[in-house]
Protein backbone atom coordinates (compact mmCIF):
# COMPACT_ATOMS: atom_id res chain seq x y z
CA UNK A 1 0.00 0.00 0.00
CA UNK A 2 2.85 2.38 0.85
CA UNK A 3 4.51 1.70 -2.52
CA UNK A 4 1.22 2.34 -4.35
CA UNK A 5 0.86 5.70 -2.54
CA UNK A 6 4.42 6.65 -3.46
CA UNK A 7 3.85 5.84 -7.16
CA UNK A 8 0.60 7.81 -7.19
CA UNK A 9 2.18 10.80 -5.45
CA UNK A 10 5.12 10.79 -7.84
CA UNK A 11 2.83 10.62 -10.88
CA UNK A 12 0.71 13.50 -9.62
CA UNK A 13 3.84 15.56 -9.05
CA UNK A 14 5.11 15.09 -12.62
CA UNK A 15 4.20 17.75 -15.17
CA UNK A 16 1.88 16.69 -17.95
CA UNK A 17 4.61 17.31 -20.52
CA UNK A 18 6.63 14.44 -19.07
CA UNK A 19 4.06 11.96 -20.35
CA UNK A 20 4.47 10.86 -23.98
CA UNK A 21 1.77 12.39 -26.11
CA UNK A 22 -0.15 10.18 -28.48
CA UNK A 23 0.91 10.82 -32.08
CA UNK A 24 -1.30 12.75 -34.48
CA UNK A 25 -2.75 10.19 -36.89
CA UNK A 26 -3.19 10.97 -40.58
CA UNK A 27 -5.24 8.40 -42.47
CA UNK A 28 -4.18 8.58 -46.13
CA UNK A 29 -6.58 6.70 -48.42
CA UNK A 30 -6.20 6.05 -52.14
CA UNK A 31 -7.66 3.71 -54.75
CA UNK A 32 -4.61 2.36 -56.62
CA UNK A 33 -1.93 -0.23 -55.89
CA UNK A 34 1.01 0.51 -53.58
CA UNK A 35 3.53 -0.03 -56.39
CA UNK A 36 2.16 2.73 -58.65
CA UNK A 37 3.58 6.29 -58.72
CA UNK A 38 0.76 7.49 -56.45
CA UNK A 39 1.17 4.51 -54.13
CA UNK A 40 4.91 5.07 -53.87
CA UNK A 41 4.38 8.80 -53.39
CA UNK A 42 2.01 8.13 -50.49
CA UNK A 43 4.55 5.81 -48.88
CA UNK A 44 7.32 8.39 -49.30
CA UNK A 45 5.13 11.05 -47.66
CA UNK A 46 4.53 8.67 -44.75
CA UNK A 47 8.24 8.06 -44.28
CA UNK A 48 9.19 11.74 -44.48
CA UNK A 49 6.31 12.95 -42.29
CA UNK A 50 7.07 10.50 -39.51
CA UNK A 51 10.79 11.14 -39.71
CA UNK A 52 10.64 14.94 -39.77
CA UNK A 53 8.11 15.20 -36.96
CA UNK A 54 10.14 12.82 -34.80
CA UNK A 55 7.22 10.42 -34.56
CA UNK A 56 4.74 13.08 -33.46
CA UNK A 57 2.75 12.26 -36.59
CA UNK A 58 1.78 8.76 -37.66
CA UNK A 59 0.61 8.27 -41.25
CA UNK A 60 -1.57 5.26 -42.01
CA UNK A 61 -1.72 4.56 -45.76
CA UNK A 62 -4.70 2.60 -47.12
CA UNK A 63 -4.26 1.68 -50.83
CA UNK A 64 -6.50 -0.23 -53.26
CA UNK A 65 -9.81 1.21 -51.96
CA UNK A 66 -9.33 -0.56 -48.62
CA UNK A 67 -11.37 2.12 -46.87
CA UNK A 68 -13.41 3.86 -49.56
CA UNK A 69 -14.24 3.54 -53.26
CA UNK A 70 -13.82 6.41 -55.71
CA UNK A 71 -17.15 8.11 -55.06
CA UNK A 72 -16.90 7.80 -51.27
CA UNK A 73 -13.42 9.25 -50.80
CA UNK A 74 -14.17 12.95 -50.90
CA UNK A 75 -17.18 12.69 -48.61
CA UNK A 76 -15.06 10.78 -46.09
CA UNK A 77 -12.43 13.54 -46.23
CA UNK A 78 -14.99 16.30 -45.75
CA UNK A 79 -16.44 14.45 -42.75
CA UNK A 80 -12.98 13.93 -41.29
CA UNK A 81 -13.12 10.13 -41.46
CA UNK A 82 -9.83 10.33 -43.34
CA UNK A 83 -7.43 13.25 -43.28
CA UNK A 84 -5.62 12.93 -46.63
CA UNK A 85 -6.37 11.77 -50.17
CA UNK A 86 -4.82 11.95 -53.63
CA UNK A 87 -7.83 11.69 -55.97
CA UNK A 88 -7.68 12.28 -59.70
CA UNK A 89 -8.60 15.82 -60.69
CA UNK A 90 -11.81 14.68 -62.36
CA UNK A 91 -13.26 13.89 -58.91
CA UNK A 92 -13.84 17.55 -58.10
CA UNK A 93 -16.39 18.11 -60.85
CA UNK A 94 -19.16 16.12 -59.12
CA UNK A 95 -18.24 17.99 -55.93
CA UNK A 96 -19.27 21.21 -57.65
CA UNK A 97 -15.82 22.54 -58.52
CA UNK A 98 -16.27 22.00 -62.24
CA UNK A 99 -13.26 24.08 -63.22
CA UNK A 100 -11.00 21.12 -62.43
CA UNK A 101 -12.47 19.30 -65.42
CA UNK A 102 -10.32 21.54 -67.61
CA UNK A 103 -7.63 18.89 -67.07
CA UNK A 104 -9.85 16.35 -68.86
CA UNK A 105 -9.97 18.29 -72.13
CA UNK A 106 -8.56 15.95 -74.79
CA UNK A 107 -5.12 16.75 -76.22
CA UNK A 108 -4.80 19.88 -74.07
CA UNK A 109 -1.22 19.03 -73.07
CA UNK A 110 1.45 18.41 -75.70
CA UNK A 111 3.93 17.11 -73.12
CA UNK A 112 4.68 16.95 -69.40
CA UNK A 113 6.18 20.44 -69.37
CA UNK A 114 2.89 21.87 -70.66
CA UNK A 115 0.98 20.07 -67.91
CA UNK A 116 3.35 21.32 -65.20
CA UNK A 117 3.08 24.86 -66.52
CA UNK A 118 -0.61 24.73 -65.61
CA UNK A 119 -0.42 22.93 -62.26
CA UNK A 120 2.67 24.75 -60.97
CA UNK A 121 1.43 28.18 -62.03
CA UNK A 122 -1.43 30.52 -61.23
CA UNK A 123 -4.09 28.25 -62.76
CA UNK A 124 -3.23 25.42 -60.37
CA UNK A 125 -3.14 27.76 -57.36
CA UNK A 126 -6.47 29.38 -58.23
CA UNK A 127 -8.14 25.98 -58.62
CA UNK A 128 -6.95 24.87 -55.19
CA UNK A 129 -8.49 27.99 -53.63
CA UNK A 130 -11.88 26.91 -55.00
CA UNK A 131 -11.71 23.74 -52.84
CA UNK A 132 -11.44 25.59 -49.54
CA UNK A 133 -15.17 26.42 -49.18
CA UNK A 134 -15.72 22.64 -49.47
CA UNK A 135 -13.54 22.05 -46.41
CA UNK A 136 -10.61 20.83 -48.50
CA UNK A 137 -7.08 22.22 -48.74
CA UNK A 138 -4.98 21.46 -51.81
CA UNK A 139 -1.34 20.74 -51.03
CA UNK A 140 0.24 19.59 -54.32
CA UNK A 141 -0.38 18.16 -57.78
CA UNK A 142 0.99 14.68 -58.49
CA UNK A 143 1.64 13.78 -62.11
CA UNK A 144 0.97 10.30 -63.54
CA UNK A 145 1.51 10.71 -67.24
CA UNK A 146 -0.57 10.39 -70.36
CA UNK A 147 -3.66 8.29 -71.00
CA UNK A 148 -3.79 5.48 -73.51
CA UNK A 149 -6.85 3.61 -74.78
CA UNK A 150 -7.62 -0.10 -74.55
CA UNK A 151 -10.29 -2.46 -75.87
CA UNK A 152 -10.71 -5.98 -77.19
CA UNK A 153 -10.49 -4.65 -80.75
CA UNK A 154 -7.90 -2.41 -82.42
CA UNK A 155 -8.48 1.32 -81.86
CA UNK A 156 -6.75 3.07 -84.75
CA UNK A 157 -9.37 5.24 -86.44
CA UNK A 158 -12.20 7.20 -84.84
CA UNK A 159 -14.68 4.80 -86.45
CA UNK A 160 -13.23 1.94 -84.36
CA UNK A 161 -14.88 3.37 -81.23
CA UNK A 162 -18.42 3.25 -82.58
CA UNK A 163 -20.75 1.51 -80.12
CA UNK A 164 -18.04 0.47 -77.65
CA UNK A 165 -18.88 0.73 -73.94
CA UNK A 166 -15.91 2.65 -72.52
CA UNK A 167 -15.30 3.07 -68.81
CA UNK A 168 -14.63 6.62 -67.61
CA UNK A 169 -14.37 8.48 -64.34
CA UNK A 170 -17.30 10.67 -63.42
CA UNK A 171 -16.58 13.69 -65.61
CA UNK A 172 -18.83 15.47 -68.07
CA UNK A 173 -15.78 16.26 -70.19
CA UNK A 174 -14.77 12.60 -70.40
CA UNK A 175 -18.39 11.71 -71.14
CA UNK A 176 -18.39 14.18 -74.04
CA UNK A 177 -15.01 12.89 -75.19
CA UNK A 178 -16.22 9.31 -75.56
CA UNK A 179 -19.44 10.38 -77.24
CA UNK A 180 -17.45 12.47 -79.72
CA UNK A 181 -15.56 9.30 -80.65
CA UNK A 182 -18.82 7.39 -81.08
CA UNK A 183 -18.41 5.32 -77.91
CA UNK A 184 -20.86 4.86 -75.03
CA UNK A 185 -19.34 6.19 -71.78
CA UNK A 186 -19.81 4.13 -68.62
CA UNK A 187 -18.99 5.73 -65.26
CA UNK A 188 -17.45 3.12 -62.97
CA UNK A 189 -15.26 2.95 -59.87
CA UNK A 190 -11.66 2.05 -60.62
CA UNK A 191 -11.83 -0.84 -58.14
CA UNK A 192 -14.59 -2.45 -60.24
CA UNK A 193 -12.87 -2.07 -63.61
CA UNK A 194 -10.97 -5.36 -63.93
CA UNK A 195 -14.04 -7.49 -63.28
CA UNK A 196 -16.17 -5.33 -65.58
CA UNK A 197 -13.68 -5.76 -68.42
CA UNK A 198 -13.32 -9.47 -67.74
CA UNK A 199 -17.09 -10.03 -67.79
CA UNK A 200 -17.77 -7.75 -70.76
CA UNK A 201 -19.82 -5.21 -68.81
CA UNK A 202 -17.57 -2.65 -70.51
CA UNK A 203 -15.53 -3.10 -73.68
CA UNK A 204 -12.61 -0.83 -72.95
CA UNK A 205 -11.17 2.02 -70.96
CA UNK A 206 -8.58 4.76 -70.82
CA UNK A 207 -5.75 4.96 -68.32
CA UNK A 208 -2.00 5.06 -67.80
CA UNK A 209 0.32 2.07 -68.28
CA UNK A 210 1.32 1.86 -64.60
CA UNK A 211 -2.31 1.40 -63.56
CA UNK A 212 -2.98 -0.96 -66.47
CA UNK A 213 -0.11 -3.13 -65.32
CA UNK A 214 -0.60 -3.12 -61.54
CA UNK A 215 -4.36 -3.71 -61.87
CA UNK A 216 -3.73 -6.39 -64.55
CA UNK A 217 -5.96 -4.62 -67.06
CA UNK A 218 -3.69 -5.94 -69.81
CA UNK A 219 -4.87 -9.47 -68.98
CA UNK A 220 -8.44 -8.67 -70.04
CA UNK A 221 -7.77 -6.29 -72.95
CA UNK A 222 -6.37 -7.50 -76.26
CA UNK A 223 -5.43 -4.10 -77.69
CA UNK A 224 -3.91 -0.86 -76.42
CA UNK A 225 -3.30 2.34 -78.36
CA UNK A 226 -0.64 4.83 -77.24
CA UNK A 227 -2.90 7.78 -77.97
CA UNK A 228 -1.64 10.17 -75.25
CA UNK A 229 -4.97 11.93 -75.62
CA UNK A 230 -5.43 12.84 -71.98
CA UNK A 231 -3.40 13.30 -68.86
CA UNK A 232 -3.81 11.67 -65.46
CA UNK A 233 -2.97 13.70 -62.41
CA UNK A 234 -3.87 13.70 -58.75
CA UNK A 235 -4.38 16.39 -56.16
CA UNK A 236 -2.79 15.75 -52.78
CA UNK A 237 -5.47 17.15 -50.49
CA UNK A 238 -6.21 17.29 -46.78
CA UNK A 239 -9.18 18.05 -44.55
CA UNK A 240 -8.85 21.83 -44.10
CA UNK A 241 -10.09 21.96 -40.51
CA UNK A 242 -7.64 19.23 -39.52
CA UNK A 243 -4.74 20.93 -41.31
CA UNK A 244 -5.45 24.38 -39.91
CA UNK A 245 -5.71 22.89 -36.41
CA UNK A 246 -2.24 21.38 -36.44
CA UNK A 247 0.52 22.94 -34.34
CA UNK A 248 2.46 25.40 -36.50
CA UNK A 249 5.74 23.51 -36.23
CA UNK A 250 4.08 20.22 -37.20
CA UNK A 251 2.42 21.84 -40.19
CA UNK A 252 5.77 23.26 -41.36
CA UNK A 253 7.39 19.83 -41.11
CA UNK A 254 4.51 18.25 -43.03
CA UNK A 255 4.71 20.92 -45.73
CA UNK A 256 8.34 19.95 -46.18
CA UNK A 257 7.34 16.28 -46.45
CA UNK A 258 4.67 17.21 -49.02
CA UNK A 259 7.19 19.13 -51.12
CA UNK A 260 9.77 16.35 -51.22
CA UNK A 261 7.30 13.50 -51.71
CA UNK A 262 5.78 15.48 -54.61
CA UNK A 263 9.18 15.86 -56.26
CA UNK A 264 9.70 12.11 -55.82
CA UNK A 265 6.26 11.06 -57.11
CA UNK A 266 6.49 13.33 -60.16
CA UNK A 267 10.03 12.18 -60.95
CA UNK A 268 9.14 8.48 -61.02
CA UNK A 269 5.88 8.78 -63.00
CA UNK A 270 7.47 8.67 -66.47
CA UNK A 271 9.85 5.85 -65.53
CA UNK A 272 7.12 3.79 -63.90
CA UNK A 273 4.85 4.12 -66.92
CA UNK A 274 7.62 3.21 -69.35
CA UNK A 275 8.60 0.17 -67.27
CA UNK A 276 4.99 -0.94 -66.95
CA UNK A 277 4.48 -0.64 -70.70
CA UNK A 278 7.54 -2.80 -71.30
CA UNK A 279 6.15 -5.42 -68.92
CA UNK A 280 2.76 -5.35 -70.66
CA UNK A 281 4.46 -5.90 -74.02
CA UNK A 282 6.61 -8.71 -72.60
CA UNK A 283 3.53 -10.50 -71.25
CA UNK A 284 2.35 -10.97 -74.83
CA UNK A 285 -1.35 -10.76 -73.97
CA UNK A 286 -1.97 -7.36 -75.49
CA UNK A 287 -1.09 -5.78 -78.83
CA UNK A 288 0.33 -2.29 -78.21
CA UNK A 289 -0.14 0.11 -81.12
CA UNK A 290 1.39 3.52 -81.82
CA UNK A 291 -0.93 5.63 -84.00
CA UNK A 292 0.40 7.39 -87.08
CA UNK A 293 0.47 11.21 -87.18
CA UNK A 294 -2.50 11.14 -89.54
CA UNK A 295 -4.50 8.92 -87.17
CA UNK A 296 -3.65 11.16 -84.21
CA UNK A 297 -4.73 14.22 -86.15
CA UNK A 298 -8.05 12.53 -86.98
CA UNK A 299 -8.64 11.90 -83.27
CA UNK A 300 -7.76 15.51 -82.45
CA UNK A 301 -10.18 16.92 -85.02
CA UNK A 302 -12.97 14.65 -83.78
CA UNK A 303 -12.36 15.73 -80.20
CA UNK A 304 -11.82 19.47 -80.58
CA UNK A 305 -15.58 20.23 -80.46
CA UNK A 306 -15.51 18.91 -76.87
CA UNK A 307 -13.41 21.93 -75.88
CA UNK A 308 -16.02 24.37 -77.14
CA UNK A 309 -18.91 22.31 -75.79
CA UNK A 310 -17.43 22.23 -72.29
CA UNK A 311 -16.61 25.95 -72.04
CA UNK A 312 -19.97 26.66 -70.40
CA UNK A 313 -19.34 23.96 -67.78
CA UNK A 314 -15.66 24.45 -67.02
CA UNK A 315 -15.70 28.20 -67.52
CA UNK A 316 -14.33 30.04 -70.53
CA UNK A 317 -11.85 31.99 -68.40
CA UNK A 318 -10.43 28.77 -66.93
CA UNK A 319 -10.14 27.16 -70.37
CA UNK A 320 -8.40 30.21 -71.81
CA UNK A 321 -6.01 30.43 -68.85
CA UNK A 322 -5.11 26.75 -69.26
CA UNK A 323 -4.61 27.24 -73.03
CA UNK A 324 -2.22 30.11 -72.39
CA UNK A 325 -0.22 28.35 -69.68
CA UNK A 326 0.02 25.09 -71.64
CA UNK A 327 0.79 26.75 -74.97
CA UNK A 328 -2.13 24.91 -76.54
CA UNK A 329 -2.44 25.00 -80.32
CA UNK A 330 -5.60 23.67 -81.97
CA UNK A 331 -5.11 21.16 -84.81
CA UNK A 332 -5.42 22.37 -88.39
Which pLDDT score, from 0 to 100, does residue 191 have? 85
Which pLDDT score, from 0 to 100, does residue 11 have? 41
Domain ranges of the chain: 14-326
Mean pLDDT, 10 residues at a time, over the chain (332 residues)? Answer: 42 43 94 89 97 97 86 90 94 92 96 95 97 97 96 97 96 96 94 94 96 94 97 96 97 98 94 95 97 97 96 96 95 78
Angle ∠(172,224,274) on CA atoms, nearest 5:
100
Which pLDDT score, from 0 to 100, does residue 178 have? 98
Which pLDDT score, from 0 to 100, does residue 65 have? 85
Query: 14-326: which CATH number, 3.40.190.10, 3.40.640.10, 3.40.190.170, 3.40.50.300?
Result: 3.40.190.170
Amino acid sequence: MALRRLILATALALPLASFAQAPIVIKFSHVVAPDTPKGKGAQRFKELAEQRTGGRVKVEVYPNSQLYKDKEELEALQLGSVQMLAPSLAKFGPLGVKEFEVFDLPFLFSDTAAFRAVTDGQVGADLFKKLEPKGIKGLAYWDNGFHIMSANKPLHAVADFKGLKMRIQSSKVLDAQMRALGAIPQVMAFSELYQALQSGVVDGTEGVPSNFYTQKIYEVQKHMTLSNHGHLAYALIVNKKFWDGLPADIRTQLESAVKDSTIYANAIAATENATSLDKIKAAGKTTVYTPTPAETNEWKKALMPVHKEMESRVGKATVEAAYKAAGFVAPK
